[in-house]
């Protein structure tokens, strides 16, 4: 169903694949709106200066320019396609702060672009579904607990295997580094972030290259290996490092684990090696894994940030999580984890006896549609066998016939059952009205 196109990294789905993606997006939107998140879309482009300021390496950015650019318009060259939805959202908040009510909750489902080398689960164009809550000057801790729980609810509602959110608090690593005397905290964070990818030894080497002593590196590795749903503070305390920020981070994490244990038992696990590559996180950070598909990497990541958006006078701290929709859908489609019941919205095909009676078929179709039943009229008045084949190829479950006396019958072409029917009364089974998607796992 997931057809490879000629452009690597720019995936496109079949009509049936798109039905699956759309049902996932609809369900996400539903959960986000139930939790009071307002929809936003931002433009696809941002000034390059903005895009290169925030954490990501600059080589991933696509620059846009007009084909026949005039020199006085050269400033266009300073635009790039956004690589995530957080940076544009932060800019939107700053530009519109006067009109927004804080804390402001928004969801945003849009394409983003990164000029990376395409791999399995890694694309150059992909859809993200983000939720963020942003305050003015401050944002209470409970938002850092609520947000991953909302994402768990959203993901639990999808036809996918169970998810686990791995969580850490930046204050723990930062406080720990300070406690043992490591200066280059960012370097340490970036090294730990690669633990799963490159292994312990390479991480230690990378830290040492950045001037971190072997002892310190090994202490950090011990910290990074702590993982679980309880006794996190105890395990950290055994490492014998004291620091007020470390203590604060541990307290916040313990509080989160208590709450999430009650509200989503077993779905949130502390994992102190989760650091996220981006510089701007200051509190909780999250990564989310799909059971049996851990090789895919995180399908939903984010964290707390304090200074992503500031107009110099006020700061707008926030917490956000982003689902990699394309990564998820790509895996679902390529592994056939979910099937759509048909490849078109159409529930009924109204047969056409001859081109002269097409208006009669059109009228029946109008009646069915006015009652919310997706209906097509047969494109040709060929033999009924051919018209039925038209429906069959698309998975359209019903074909509607009108005889010369104007009496209608409707045939379920799966069972062959055919009954007389009135267009102002007949109703398909609920499951047949629109295409449905079903977990095959």
List the interface residues with a copy of itself, window 92-151 (CB under 8 A): 92, 95-96, 99-101, 103, 105-106, 111, 113, 115, 125, 133, 135, 140, 142-143, 146
Cα gap 332→159, rounded to integer Å: 9
Give the binding range for a copy of itself (CB under 8 A) out of 194-202, 231-239, 245-253, 354-362.
354-362
Site for a copy of itself in 251-310 (CB under 8 A): 259, 262-263
Nearer to a copy of itself, 149 or 163 (CB): 149
Nearer to a copy of itself, 76 or 234 (CB): 76
Look-up: residue for tokens 């991480």? 203
- Contacts for 140 with CB less than 8 Å, ≥ 6 apart: none
The token duo for 136 is 């003015």
Tell the smallest beta-carbon distance from residue 177 to a copy of itself (Å). Answer: 31
Count CB atoms within 10 A of the CB of residue 413. Answer: 18
Q: Which of 423, 421, 418 is nearest to 397 (CA)?
A: 418
Q: Which residue in the set 178, 345, 384, 408 belongs to the binding site for a copy of itself (CB under 8 A)? A: 345
Part in contact with a copy of itself (CB under 8 A); list of ranges 16-24, 160-168, 270-278, 301-309: 16-24
Question: Which residue number, 196 or 311, has a Cβ lying nearer to a copy of itself?
Answer: 311
The site for a copy of itself, by CB under 8 A, has a size of: 85
* 82 part of the interface to a copy of itself, by CB under 8 A: no
Task: DSSP for 301-361, please give it.
Answer: EEEEESSSSB-SS-B--EEEEEEEHHHHHHHHHHTT-EEES-SSS--EEE--S-GGGHHHH
Task: Please say which residue, 243 or 261, places its beta carbon nearer to a copy of itself.
Answer: 261
Q: Using only C-alpha atoms, what is the Rg of the chain?
A: 27
Among positions 30-69, residues that touch a copy of itself (CB under 8 A) are 33-45, 48, 58-68
Which x/- pattern, by CB under 8 A, does the window 215-254 give for a copy of itself? ----------------------------------------
Which of 374/428 has CB closer to a copy of itself? Answer: 374
Q: Which two tokens stand for residue 50?
A: 């903005």
Alpha carbon 313 to its chain centroid, in Å, reads 33
Tokens of 161: 């295997």
Q: Which is nearer to a copy of itself, 307 or 380 (CB)?
A: 380
How far is it, in rounded angstroms, from Cα 364 to Cα 368? 6
Identify residues 369-408 at the interface with a copy of itself (CB under 8 A): 369, 372-377, 379-380, 390, 393-394
Q: DSSP letters of 220-289?
A: HHHHHT-EESS-HHHHHHTTT---HHHHHHHHHHHHHHHHHHHHSTTSEEEETT---S-TTEEEEEEEEE
CB of 384 to a copy of itself, least distance (A): 17
Q: Interface with a copy of itself includes 81 (CB under 8 A)?
A: yes
Q: Write down the least CB distance from residue 438 to a copy of itself, Å.
A: 18
> Which residue's CB is nearer to a copy of itself, number 21 or number 206?
21
Other C-beta atoms lying within 10 Å of the C-beta of residue 241: 18
User: From the CB of 114, what's the least distance to a copy of itself, in Å?
Assistant: 10
Residue in 6, 49, 71, 356 binding a copy of itself, rule: CB under 8 A:
6
419 near a copy of itself, judged by CB under 8 A: no
Pick 192 or 257: Cβ nearer a copy of itself: 257
Asked if 339 touches a copy of itself (CB under 8 A), the answer is no
When asked if residue 313 is in the footprint of a copy of itself (CB under 8 A), the reply is no
Using CB under 8 A, which of 181, 228, 336, 359 touches a copy of itself? 359
Of the pair 42, 436, the CB lying nearest a copy of itself is at 42
336 touches a copy of itself (CB under 8 A): no
Nearest to 406 by CA among 436, 374, 367: 367
Cα 363 → chain centroid: 42
Residues across the chain: 441
| Binding status of residue 362 toward a copy of itself by CB under 8 A | yes
Stretch of 78-86, 176-184, 264-272, 317-325 lying at the interface with a copy of itself (CB under 8 A)? 78-86
- Residues 177-216 binding a copy of itself (CB under 8 A) are none
Question: CA–CA distance from 180 to each of 116, 183, 216, 327, 404 (Å)?
Answer: 36, 9, 7, 39, 90
311 binds a copy of itself (CB under 8 A): no
In the bound state with a copy of itself, the residue whose beta carbon lies nearer, of 108 and 245, is 108
CA dihedral 426, 344, 342, 112 (to 10 degrees): -140
93 within 8 A of 25, measured Cβ to Cβ: no
In the complex with a copy of itself, which residue's Cβ is closer, 7 or 198? Answer: 7
Contact 387, 399 (CB under 8 A): yes
């Amino acid at each position: 169903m997931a057809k490879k196109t000629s452009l690597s990294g720019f995936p496109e789905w079949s009509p049936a694949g798109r039905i699956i993606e759309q049902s996932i997006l609809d369900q996400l939107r539903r959960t986000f709106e139930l939790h009071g998140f307002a929809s936003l879309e931002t433009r696809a482009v941002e000034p390059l200066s903005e895009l290169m300021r925030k954490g990501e390496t600059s080589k991933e950015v696509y620059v846009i320019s007009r084909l026949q650019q005039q020199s006085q318009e050269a400033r266009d060259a300073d635009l790039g396609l956004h690589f995530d939805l957080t940076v544009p959202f932060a800019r939107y908040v700053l530009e519109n702060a006067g009109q927004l009510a804080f804390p402001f909750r928004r969801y945003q489902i849009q394409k983003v672009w990164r000029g990376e080398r395409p791999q399995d689960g890694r694309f150059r164009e992909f859809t993200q579904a983000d939720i963020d809550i942003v305050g003015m000057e401050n944002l209470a801790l409970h938002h850092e607990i609520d947000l991953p729980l909302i994402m768990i609810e959203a993901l639990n509602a999808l036809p996918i295997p169970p998810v686990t959110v791995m969580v850490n608090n930046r204050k723990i690593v930062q406080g720990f580094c300070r406690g043992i005397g490591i200066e280059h905290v960012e370097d340490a964070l970036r090294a730990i972030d690669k633990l799963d990818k490159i292994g312990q030894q390479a991480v230690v080497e990378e830290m040492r290259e950045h001037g971190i002593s072997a002892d310190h590196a090994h202490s950090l590795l011990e910290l990074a290996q702590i993982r679980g749903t309880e006794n996190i503070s105890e395990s950290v305390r055994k490492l014998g490092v004291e620091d007020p920020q470390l203590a604060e981070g541990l307290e916040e994490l313990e509080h989160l684990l208590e709450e999430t244990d009650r509200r989503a038992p077993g779905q949130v696990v502390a994992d102190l090696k989760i650091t996220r590559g981006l510089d701007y996180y200051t509190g909780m950070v999250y990564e989310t894994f799909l059971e049996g598909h851990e090789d895919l990497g995180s399908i939903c990541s984010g964290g707390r940030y304090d200074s992503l958006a500031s107009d110099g006078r006020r700061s707008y701290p926030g917490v956000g999580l982003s689902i990699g929709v394309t990564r998820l859908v790509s895996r679902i489609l390529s592994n056939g984890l979910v099937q759509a019941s048909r490849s078109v919205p159409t529930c009924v095909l109204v047969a056409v006896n001859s081109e002269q009676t097409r208006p009669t078929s059109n009228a029946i179709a109008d009646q069915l549609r006015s009652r919310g039943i997706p209906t097509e009229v047969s494109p040709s008045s060929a033999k009924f066998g051919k018209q039925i084949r038209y429906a069959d190829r698309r998975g359209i479950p019903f074909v509607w016939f009108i005889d010369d006396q104007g009496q209608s019958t409707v045939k379920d072409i799966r069972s062959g059952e055919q009954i007389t029917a009135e267009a102002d009364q007949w109703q398909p089974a609920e499951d047949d009205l629109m295409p449905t998607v079903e977990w095959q796992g």
